[in-house]
Structure 1
């Protein structure tokens, strides 16, 4: 039997489901939410937390994307394709979020005492457990021609279906993963392939942006021949949390957590506006 990573086995999980809030739920709110939860978990006000989130037709750009030579043209292209575009205040590169993509954040305490790889390893293990009845072929290594490539890309047969990032705030750490559940991984990748082509127009750049090959990306349904829905994955996640802990509690932000969320959201909005003002 596979050994369970210690980070995945707290006595209690706090489960927050924001996967059904609809198109009005902004990705800016998501990043502020994880920051607030990271502070709360880090200060041991909240137990280890798991948050689900879905955003409709949203492209999340990284700070390096905002430095593309023709980023204004690239953003115009994305808007014309029907996508909201936000720029996060952290590293990483562009990702596609839509109603077929389930996002999961696991927020762990004691981030300053943990090697940063521990959080990534825990998320990889969680996903392997999550779909253990369907496949034992999930691998973690960089898919270089995917969008937002990284050493913790998750793939099956060389095709990426998920990417992991991590943001540390004070004593808490939010490990975030997007899972392409339904739809076409190829089409999502093709959208960003065109975005980068339009935003670079063949110019040399100091930062190395990915040369995307849409054929290296796919959804879980495409890879496994299944008909999973994001709701199915939600139920799998909740079941997994229950198996890994003694209790799962569900309660919204309260008290200081609301103040932290509001402050972080305001900061996200201001930084996003400044990043847009600096676009060439």
Structure 2
């Protein structure tokens, strides 16, 4: 496989602190913006780190749960803001101990198939955590929330999930990494959400039967005091070794109009979904 991690230039946009207190919808708009910019050659390949306060991001299938409003009410009572993304996937937890990484690459010169997109992210995580590289496996962890064929685990316990977004010749490969805290507690929250939202009803779509014990944070799995803050620093240092030039910073003034367009679209779609309850 071509080494997509080795680039002439990498752009690094860190929102691991500034994103707190903001809606995760802003992150989806940021990734859509970057997809267009990178896909059209208006920006080099980009990695964006982002962290949000207590939120649960629901997929379209979650929104079709028979008692979704009661499920969302439960999340709110537990201190988590529910939002709906207009894409596949299922419920995931975001909190200050979860680091999200979006890797945005261009497909203008050569297409990146879905599995290759996943493999590039797996390789990045193995390089980011060399002490665990030989232990990290990619396969579906049954009993986890938002299960997928590229769940990342150590010893059968999931600590990360990967998704993809493709837009205008750009591809955003996104991963949520449970760095700090309790993987079991996060899984219990989503288990309770599905129990309240389903109430034992049979549905055409099969929602995950969550077993919290199959999930953990990297800190728990490696028995190391890992932090989101230190991981972001190490990711930046890693990127510097993978390119000739590392560009730092947020969106430029001329890129903000495009971001505003995608932000309005993301918020409008979320509001439309929520108003259907």
TM-fit CA distance, 1:66:
0.3
Tell me which stretches of 4 or more aligned residues in structure 1 moved more than 3 Å.
none
Give 5+ residue unaligned stretches, structure 2.
none
CA contact (8 A) 1:28 1:265 kept: yes
Which of 161, 164, 178 is the aligned partner of 2:162? 164
1:37 alignment partner in structure 2: 34
Residue of 89, 94, 98 corresponding to 2:91: 94
Contact 2:126 2:132 (C-alpha < 8 Å) held by counterparts: no
> Structure 2 length normalisation: TM-score?
0.97
Cα offsets for 1:175-218 (capped at 9, x unmatched): 00000001000000000000000000000111111000000000
Distance 1:5 1:207 in 2: 37
C-alpha distance in 2 between matches for 1:139 and 1:85: 30
Cα shift at 1:58: 0.6
Q: What is the match of residue 201 of structure 1?
A: 199
Aligned residues: 276
Partner Cα distance (1:257, 1:165) in 2:
25
Structure 1: give runs of 5+ residues left out of the alignment.
none
1 CA distance for matches of 2:85 and 2:125?
24
**Distance in 2 separating the partners of 1:256 and 1:110:** 23
Distance (Å, rounded) in 1 between the aligned partners of 2:194 and 2:255: 38
C-alpha separation in 2, matches of 1:5 and 1:75? 43
TM-score by length of 1: 0.96
Aligned residue for 1:220? 218
Is 1:27 equivalent to 2:24 in the alignment? yes
Aligned match of 2:235 in 234, 237, 255? Answer: 237
Contact 2:98 2:180 in 1 (8 A): yes
